[in-house]
Amino acid sequence: MPYDFTTLHRNCLVEQVAPLQGNVTGTLPPWLRGTYLLDGPGRMTFGESEFNHVFDGSALMQKFTLGENGATFSSRFLRSYAYTTNLENEQIVVSEFGTTGKSLSKSKLGKLGEKLTFDKLFSDNAPVGVVVFGGEYYCITEAPFLHKIDPSTLETLSKVDLHKELGINSQCPNPKLLSDGTVINVLHGVGATGPKYDIVAFPKKPMEGKASVFSKPKKVGSVDARWKLNPCHMHTFGLTENYVVLLEQPLTIDVKATVTNTIRDKPFIGGMEWMENKLVKIHLVNRETDGYHVLFTSVLHLQERGATLGSELDGGCVKRVVVPLNVPEKAVPEENLVKLAGSRAKAQRQKDGSLLLTPDAITKFAYEVPSLNPEHAGRRYRYFYGNSGNMTVHGGKVGKVDIDSREVKEWYEEGMYASVTAFVPRPGATAEDDGVLLLAALHSDDTKKATLLVLDAADMKEMGRVEFVTSSDVARALHGLFIPE
C-alpha cells in the first residue's frame, strides 16, 4: 500500500478535555515521568467551509501524561481569535496561509480595511509548536503572535502581540531555550535599508521596569535581507556556544505579490516565491561581537506530481556543512579548506572573501523534525532522531542517525504514522544515547486511535506503548515538547 497522505489532514471536532486512561503493553520505564505536549493543526472545517492547506488547520494541543499508573491523553483547541471567530460564525472567516476567509463586512471599503489591518491580515492561529519563554509555555507560529497556555489543563490564558510590542512582522517559530532560561530567536522586521533579520535574546524574567520578558529583548545581531522585496521564509536557525547560524534560503515572500493577492482575495501562499537556481546564503553571526561570515551552499528541489506523489516526492537527505573559521587570505578557489577527518564536505574561498560550501550527504533520506539529547543542544553531538522522508511505504518511519558512522537505525510499523519524537535521557546517564525516544503516532486504519510508543534510544527497539481510543479524529502534530515531572 502507498503512503497515506490523509494522515496529514485529520479533522478533529471534539476535544478530549477529561484525561483518557490508556492501555499499556510492554514496559514503561519507572523513571519516565512527565508531560509530552504536542501542537499542530487539528480542525479543518467550520460549517460547510474547509481549509485548503494542512497548515491552516486550527491549532490543537495534545498531551500525554506519564505517571505511576501508566499514561493519559487529553486535548484542547487553542482559543485564538481565528478559532473563536470561525467557531462563532460557523464558517472560515479568518484567512490562513492557504485559505481566504469570508469577510463579515458588508461594504467594499470595510472589506478592504479588514484586509489591510495587520491583525486581520495575519491569523493568530498558532499550530506550529509549544515553546518556553520566562518559564511559561506558549503556542507559537510564524506570525508575530504567542498564546500563553496552562500545560496542566491546556487552557489558553492570554495572547502576546509582538507586532505591537516590538514592531516585527514575523518570527522564527523554533526559538532556542538556553540552560539559564534565556531564549534566542530571530525576528523579521523592516529597517532603514529594507527587510532584516534581528537576532534577540529574551531574558528569563522581565527586566526591571518591564511588564514581561517580551519587552525590549537584548539584540544579539542583525542581518539585512539580500533581496529587498523578497525576504526569505526562515522557519528555524542554528545555534552553537559561539555562533547563530541563519540560513537565508531561496524560498521567499514576494512583498508586492502578497499585497496584491490580499486585495484580490487570494491566500498568502500565492505570495511565496522560489528563487530558482539561487544558493542558500548562510550568515554565521558571532554571539558576542555581532560580526559574521557570509557563506553559500547548494540546495535540492522538491517536486510534486499527481497520484504517485509518495514515490515522486524528493525524500531529501541529511547533509552536513563544514565551516572553517580560520580562512587563509591567500587561499585559492580551487583549494578545499575542510580538513575534518572523514568528511566529504568542501569549503572554497571566493574572490570576494565569502565561502562556497558543498555539503556532505550523510543519509539516503531526510529525517525531519529532529530531536536529540538536550544535554548536547548547541554542542557537538553524534546522534539525532527524526521522521524519515521516505514516502514510498505505508507508514511513517523514524530513524536514529549516527553522524560519525553514517549508520541509520529505524523504527517502522506498517500503517502507523509518527507525528514527532522527543528524546528523554535516563537519570544518571553518561552515554549520549542512553535514554528513551517518545514517539506519538496515529493509525491509517483507525482515525480515532492514538498511540504513544517508548523506544530504547540506543537500538530503536520498542520497550512499551500506550494506546488510546478517542471520540474524534486524532490529528498529526507538527512539534512537541517534553516536560519532566
DSSP 121-157: HS-----SEEEEETTEEEEE-SSSEEEEE-TTT--EE
pLDDT at residue 120 in the model: 67
Cell numbers placing 355: 565561502
In contact, 82 and 141? CB cutoff 8 Å: no
Output phi, psi for 108, to 5 deg.
-65, -40
pTM: 0.92
| DSSP summary character for residue 470 | -
C-alpha grid cell, residue 142: 510564524
Sorting pLDDT into bands at 50, 70 and 90, what band is 480?
very high
Match 526562515 to its residue by C-alpha cell. Answer: 234
Please tell me whether 163 is known to bind a ligand: no
Q: What is the pLDDT of residue 306?
A: 36
Instruction: Tell me the C-alpha distance between 444 and 223, whole Å.
Output: 44
Give the DSSP H or E segment for 333: none
What's the pLDDT tens digit per position in 307-350? 455 556 678 899 999 999 888 888 999 999 999 988 999 999 99
SS3 119: helix
Lowest-pLDDT range of 56-60, 191-195, 426-430 = 191-195
Q: How far is CA 110 from the centre of its chain?
A: 35
Cα 474 versus chain centre, distance: 19
Q: How confident is the model at residue 114 (pLDDT cuts 50, 70, 90)?
A: low
Q: What is the mean pLDDT of residues 247-269?
A: 84
Q: Give the number of other CB atoms < 10 A from CB of residue 25.
A: 12
Residue 257 buriedness (CB in 10 A; 0-12 / 13-18 / 19+) = middle
| pLDDT one-digit tens code per residue, 147-193 | 999 999 999 999 999 999 999 999 999 999 999 999 999 999 988 88
Tell me the pLDDT band of 70, cut-offs 50, 70 and 90. Answer: very high
SS3 assignment, position 8? helix
In this structure, are residues 241 and 378 in contact, taking their beta carbons and an 8 Å threshold?
A: yes
pLDDT at 269: 86
Secondary element (H or E) of residue 63: strand 58-67
- Listed in sequence order, the residues at least 6 apart from 147 whose beta carbon sits closer than 8 Å to its beta carbon are 78, 79, 80, 124, 126, 138, 139, 156, 157, 158, 159, 160
d(CA 272, CA 258): 8
Residue 305: predicted pLDDT: 37
Q: What is the pLDDT of residue 329?
A: 87
DSSP state, 100? P
Sign of CA pseudo-dihedral 34, 40, 45, 47: positive
With a cut of 90, say whether residue 220 has pLDDT above it: yes
Question: Is it the case that residue 12 has pLDDT exceeding 80?
Answer: yes
The answer to whether 233 is annotated as binding is: no
Whole-number average pLDDT of the chain: 90
At residue 119, the pLDDT reads: 64
Other C-beta atoms closer than 10 Å to the C-beta of 149 total 24
Element (H, E) at 24: strand 23-26
Is the predicted pLDDT of residue 113 greater than 70, yes or no?
Answer: no
Task: Pull the grid cell for residue 448.
Answer: 480515532
Joined together, the cell numbers standing for residue 328 give: 587563509
Task: Identify the CA nearest to 29 among candidates 392, 365, 429.
Answer: 429
Gap between the Cα atoms of 250 and 84, Å rounded: 35
Radius of gyration of the chain (CA): 23
- Rounded Cα gap, residues 433 and 371, in angstroms: 12
Please count the other Cβ atoms lying within 10 Å of the Cβ belonging to residue 8: 15
pLDDT band at 55 (very low <50, low <70, confident <90, very high): very high
Per-position b or e across 310-330, b if 16+ CB within 10 A of its CB: beebebbebbebbbbeebeee
Using the 8-state DSSP alphabet, how is residue 288 labeled? T
Flag whether pLDDT at 294 surpasses 80: no
- Please give the DSSP secondary-structure letter assigned to residue 363: -
Give the pairing type, strands 292-297 and 355-358. parallel
Model confidence at 475, pLDDT cuts 50, 70, 90, reads: very high
**Least confidently predicted of 275-289, 385-399, 402-416:** 275-289
pLDDT computed for residue 300 by the predictor: 37
